[in-house]
Amino acid sequence: MDYHRTQQAPLYLILVAVGVGMLAGAWLTPIQAVQIVVLFSGGLMLVLAATFRQLTVRDEANHLLIQFGPLPLFRRRVPYSDMERAERGRTSILDG
């Protein structure tokens, strides 16, 4: 089997906007402790935005690779031997 599918997630731009807003807010905040927390949180938002920008599902011989990326921090390999069945489905934005 040769399967490779990448889905784009344009809603990652919300995380980018929040992260940039937090970084700008940290620059404008005079209290150093608050600056550090907001800078860290804004940076985390930008990393999460890069991580959840797309979802790739790919066949890799004896297992299925499921990977968020282009920054692949979250990935999972599911062996075909552990799968009982596969069905085609459709999800909505409310599903997650």
Q: What is the pLDDT of residues 30-63, one digit of tens each?
A: 999 999 999 999 999 999 999 989 999 999 989 9
Burial zone of 54 (CB within 10 Å; 0-12 exposed, 13-18 middle, 19+ buried): middle
CA distance 45 to 61: 34
Domain regions of the chain by residue span? 4-79
At residue 71, the pLDDT reads: 80
* pTM of the model as a whole: 0.72
